[in-house]
Amino acid sequence: MKFLQPLLLALSISALACSSQNNGEKTTFVFHINSSVVPLQNPVEYDSVLSSLNTFFKNQPPSQSRHSQEYFSSHRNIYRDIHLEDTSYKPSLLHILPTDVDTQYIMKFAFMKQDVNGFSDLRFIYNMLARKEGTRFSFHRIFDYNTRDWVKQHAGTMTYYYHPSNIFNRKLAEQSDSFNIALAKRLEVEPEKITYYKCQNAIELFKLKGFDYTRGMYRDTIGGRVEDDIGILSANNSEWYPHEIAHYYPPKLTDHCRNSIFLEGFATYAGGTHYYSLNEMLRLTKEYLRLHPQTDIVKNIFEENDVVSHVPYMYVFGGLLCKLAEEKESLNGIKKLLESYFSEMDFYQVVEEVFGVRKDDFNTFMRQELEKY
């Protein structure tokens, strides 16, 4: 999975018909308040949380936003979770729920739009924390709150967190520690100190992040991701996920990691995926392409298609090219791939630079390499 960079909220939200009385003045909000919302017992505090929320959704600069500065400084902010390119989705406040702290609440939102037939299209349901700071409220991701009772275990360079009802497999944790140290040694860098959250499945992973519903949450059974402000989020109910561990190392090879094909390729080359090693994926791909000789490899890479289930073109050929680049130019070859830009033109350019293979010969080149597996 990819490193996720912090994103600014791109919600250009038009004013909806919601308002509140504040010191005798009527405030129009940029979010909808659902009829199910029960106002707080303290009307002044209720007005304050709504007014602060209004400021939050207006996306003012961090210095003016009601979003805690500690979260901006660590990139641990909500904006990355609720960023949407499609600004037609509007936030609707569903509930304000109490917590065990009097000045802290859980804010539950739905992001929806109306389709062409007049039906509601739900994008996600998301929970975040509201904390009182003086007379105003700031808003936080709910991740730390959701994991406050999780068990912590150490295994060398690895720090694990898991739900108390789950079981810790120390053997697999130590295997991950050994893999991490060995990979760092191979790359001639210091091993990373890695934080790892062991989730039983994708549903638990997304719930930790604050989602009651989002696309893929109930479709994907396993998987994982690295979030630079949290660590590894694993949905495979295991302490072993070398693909995600490998994602920590491209930034240690170069300050200019630009190309997701080779970021995923490097992680697949070094750590496989949850399902297969790189060699197993190469053999499956070889057999598939023998049956489908007209397949355009690069087109499928950029469209992020799968060769077969759980075997993405991007992972297969990104991994193969990283392997070939290291064999040809050592780590410098991998660096060149990572530093290339994500476009077809730049893809062909770096392939020609590293391997001497022109665009028209690329499909043949890849098929020839696959025959070795």
DSSP codes of every residue in 108-165: EEEEEEE-TTS-EEEEEEEEEEEEEETTEEEEEESHHHHTTT-EEEEETTEEEEE-TT
Q: What is the CATH number of domain 3-141?
A: 3.10.450
Nearest C-alpha neighbor of 188 from the set 362, 73, 289, 332 = 332
Cβ-based burial of 148 (10 A; exposed 0-12, middle 13-18, buried ≥19): exposed
As beta bridge partners, residue 341 has none
- For the whole model, what pTM was predicted? 0.86
Residues 6+ apart with CB under 8 A from 70: 76
Tokens of 246: 């490998």
Predicted confidence pLDDT, tens digits, the chain (373 residues): 443 333 333 333 333 334 444 445 555 667 899 998 999 999 999 999 999 988 888 754 444 444 444 444 444 556 667 777 677 888 899 999 999 999 999 999 999 998 888 898 999 999 999 999 999 998 889 999 999 999 999 999 999 999 999 999 999 999 999 999 999 999 999 999 999 999 999 999 999 999 999 988 887 777 899 998 899 999 999 999 999 999 999 999 998 888 999 999 999 999 999 889 999 999 999 999 999 999 999 999 999 999 988 889 999 999 999 999 999 999 999 999 999 999 999 999 999 999 999 999 999 999 999 999 9
Nearest C-alpha neighbor of 340 from the set 244, 261, 234 = 261
Q: Max CA-CA distance within the chain?
A: 77
Domain with CATH 3.10.450 in the chain: 3-141
Contact 166, 153 (CB under 8 A): no
